Structure 1
Amino acid sequence: MSTQPDSVPLRTKLLFIAELAEGAERYDDVIVQIKTIIKKFGPRLTNDERNFLSVAYKNLTNTLRNSWRTVDTVGKLEASRPTVVARKVMLIQKQRVKIEKELSDVCKDIVHLLDSKLLPAVEKGEERVFYSKMKGDYYRYLAEFSRPEDFEHYAKESLDAYRSAYRHALVTLEPIHPTRLGLALNFAVFYHDVKKSPDRACHLAKSAFDDAVLSPQASDPGLAQTIREALQILQLLKDDLIAWSKEIPDDGERYN
């Protein structure tokens, strides 16, 4: 058996385990590995580390949000039946509250990590936009599933984070940059889903769409990968514009 010391750096090992965990869809394990990297090496993450963290939290919350919607739909169906079985409704409500608690815990965990470690250490540019957007996203999820007494607080925190990210993106990132476009898409979703303002959502989405399409970088052959990523987001922006514009009185065709 070899007695040579292991020459693989600890940070590389932790990242490999995070990658392995992501492939196995063990997202809690991914988060543990990235948090260990932050604890041992500081809050400045590499792009790969940052992306693993983002994907892990996104998948955890997506699963919980989908579970909540399923249980909520079943609850409404049961409540609408001619003969309502009170015990069933109570059990459904209990399950929904449990999911809400789990979702709230995950969202608050990443928001705390962002506020206490990641955002204080960022430099200007894409990294700051990325983390501020994440903060806006998870406060948006909290607002979507919160109790009425907490809604305004979470909505305000989400809006403040998105505004901070968007102001910074406008002066540091090109209009075609995927992070800037992804921020515009999610910020528009916030206006539509949380603020119930399809008009403002359409205005923001169309502005981002037009700026990207008219950007000189949109036809730069040296940015092929960036353009491919941007095109995917632009298609989502276009789809949302078409859907949301139909909700605006007398303006249903404006964004078609």
Structure 2
Amino acid sequence: MCNRSIKKSRAYSLISSPKSGGGEELSVEERNLLSVAYKNVIGARRASWRIISSIEQKEEGRGNEAHAASIRAYRSKIETELARICDGILALLDSHLVPSAGGAESKVFYIKMKGDYHMYLPEFKSGAERKDAAESTMNAYKAAQDIALADLAPTHPIRLGLALNFSVFYYKILNSPDRACNLAKQVCFFSFYPPFVICFHFETLCDLF
């Protein structure tokens, strides 16, 4: 119990103080705790952003520009928070987590994580910033995929998760549903979901991501 508390404390300390990571590799449990913690932090903001954006569109449609302007200002604050959170974990990944990863599984896990947090940025960025974030996402997922294909079994959960998230990227960010479904089918082949299930419910799947 005490050992688990220490691991949990270490993982969460990386969130509050990313520069304190040192050079030691996290254990599987610690990296999972870190991943879940960041997902909880970013997930709440992303959900808020979606709700606020929807309300903003409705107010604009009704011609309530004063209300829309207030909502727009609040949305901008959420976007600033989202960017700060993503920049924080990406810096931690580059400075500590990826360099300290000793095995293929850890490397794929962290590089996939880089792709995930780069992918959140194009959801609210535009223009050159959106393009740069999308390119960074693609580069990270491809790098993780190269390692996964070479060193992880086709049924490995992290390899399957990478393929699924890569397919979400093609669907949501690159607007390429055919490529997305082809990647998702690879996941189906090695899991218990038949291909038509994931492809048919792909929009729902992307909303959950």
Give TM-score, length-normalised by structure 1.
0.72
Task: Please point out which of 31, 50, 53 is paired with 2:15.
Answer: 31
Residues 118 and 131 in structure 1, CA contact (< 8 A), matched pair in contact too:
yes
How far apart are 1:209 and its partner, in Å? 2.4
Q: Relative to structure 2, which stretch is displaced further, 126-135 or 201-210? A: 201-210
- Return 5+ residue gaps in structure 1 as ranges: 1-7, 20-27, 214-230, 246-256
- Give the match for residue 240 of structure 1: 198
- Contact conserved, 2:60 with 2:68, CA < 8 A, in 1? yes
Query: How far does residue 240 in structure 1 lie from its aligned partner after superposition?
Result: 2.9
Does 1:62 find its partner at 2:43? yes
For structure 2, the 5+ residue unaligned runs are 204-209
Letter in 1 for 2:199: L
Paired with 1:76 and 1:111, the residues of 2 have a C-alpha distance of 31
1:79 matched to 2:37? The reply is: no
What is the distance in 2 between the residues matched to 1:18 and 1:239?
A: 39
Equivalent position of 2:176 in the other structure: 197
> How big is the shift at 1:102?
0.1
Contact persistence 1:14–1:33 (CA under 8 A): no
Do the aligned partners of residues 183 and 33 (structure 1) sit closer, same or farther apart at CA in structure 2, a change above 3 Å counting? same
Q: Shift of the alpha carbon at 1:32?
A: 2.8
Instruction: Tell me which protein shows more helix as a share of its residues.
Output: 2
Larger Rg: 1
What RMSD over aligned residues (CA atoms) do the two structures have, in Å?
2.5
Q: Would the aligned equivalents of 1:34 and 1:49 in 2 still touch at CA under 8 Å?
A: no
Question: RCO higher in 1 or 2 (8 Å CA, sep ≥ 6)?
Answer: 2
Other-structure match for 2:207: none
Q: 1:150-229 residue pairs with structure 2 within 5 A?
A: 150-210=129-189, 212=190
Per-residue deviation, 1:33: 7.3
TM-score (norm 2): 0.87
Question: Against the structure 1 CA distance between its residues 132 and 157, is the aligned structure 2 distance closer, same or farther, given a 3 Å change threshold?
Answer: same
